[in-house]
Amino acid sequence: MDFRLSDEQEAMRDMARRFAHEVVAPRAAEIDRTAKFDRELYRRMGELGLPTMTLPEAYGGAGVDSLSWCLVIEELAKASTPVCNTLVLSKMTADIIHDFGSEAQKREILPRMATGEAICAFGLTEPGAGSDAASIRTTARQDGDSWVINGQKMFTTCASVCDWVIVAATIDKEQRSRGIRCFLVPRGTPGFEIGKEIELMGVRGEGACPTFYDGCRVPKENMLGAEGFRTLMKTLDGARAGIAAMAVGLAQAAFDEALAYARERIQFDRPIAEFQAVQFKLADMAVEIDAARMLTWKAAWRRDSGLDYVQDASHAKLFASEVCGRAVDQALQIHGGYGMTKDYPIERFYRDAKIHQIWEGTSEIQRLIIAKQILKGS
């Protein structure tokens, strides 16, 4: 792997860095305070082609590689985790529609997603099904030329503002994972209801809600892919490098804040950056963040090269999420009591960091995936 970025990749990263600094960062605290999805900001990201930048140009994308996408995600995550997560969601859902949707669905939906005009949510987690995705209880029953969906989903990101939701449901509970399929449900479909926004500790402002399906009827062609569980797993595998990049971005932002604070905070007549205890914290943070970034780049590079990347994506997601938690914790420690106040962004970073060890497969699930890959190859 060549660690030198191409001119195009550097240009993409620089564009995202400017946008994050000039447009996203000034809004981040307000988005967190109000916990409201910023639709206008999302449209501005659409003007730059960010929501579906990896899609082919024929569907409104830019056809960029996975590494470029990770570079963009890292820069935006430095400014706002919830804003950045909407882009990860957009790529996930767009990939499912592109890979498994009909040509008519692709032509109708993907260009609108690319411009930020429309948003597609993803309903997987349920009140009784999280890490064990195969145990989902939402059902889909075929009735003539339609599928009838019944059930409930939790933590559906962007549900409050979505135009469609991709719902995972089982057509046969006895088959467990083999019975799972994915269905495209337009907003406004009778029997589809969106609940009240969930009050979250962190990642506030991403429009996460429960969604309910009571006799929700969709056309038979709205089933996306004949093997739903593999669709889900492929989607999650593809997203994990992006989730890792997001964790790296947040960790880097925490490090940058800690470094700046350590240089200006005076104790015992000198900046605390001159004390070895603080220097060691900064050194450990810098090393771990760089290592997490390299694991993320490796996973993206393997995907771009057409190589198997499942284990690499889990390596990156596991390590980056754990590094993010440690980095934000140490950054707050360097800030001392001031880090607990909302006057400094580290307080928001601290609340946002924990989710990285949970979503798109917990740290425990990543270890299971990695162990399975290791044993399969032995």
Active site members: 360
Instruction: State the helix-helix crossing angle for 81-100 and 66-77, rounded to 10 degrees.
Output: 150
Pairing of strands 164-170, 120-123: parallel
Distances (CA, A) of 159 to 45, 121, 211, 215, 249: 19, 6, 7, 19, 25
Q: Among 359, 337, 339, 358, which Cα is nearest to 349's?
A: 339
**Residue 236 vs residues 13, 104, 247: alpha-carbon distances, Å:** 24, 25, 16
Q: What DSSP element (H or E) covers 137?
A: none
- Name the token pair of 145: 């030329």
Which residues are CB-contacts of 364 (< 8 A; sequence separation ≥ 6)? 131
Q: What is the largest CA-CA distance in the chain?
A: 79
Angle subtended by helix axes 228-264 and 346-353, to nearest 10: 150
Q: Which residues contact 47 (CB under 8 A, 6 or more apart)?
A: 115, 116
| Three-state SS letters, 41-84 | HHHHHHHCCCCCCCCCHHHCCCCCCHHHHHHHHHHHHCCCHHHH
Helix (H, G, I), strand (E, B), or coil: what is residue 38?
A: coil
Q: In the chain, which ranges are continuous DSSP H helix? A: 7-19, 25-34, 39-47, 66-77, 81-100, 103-114, 228-264, 276-304, 310-335, 346-353, 363-377
Q: Taking Cα atoms as reference points, which of 317, 315, 300 lies closest to residue 358?
A: 317
Give dist(CA 42, CA 49) in Å, integer.
11
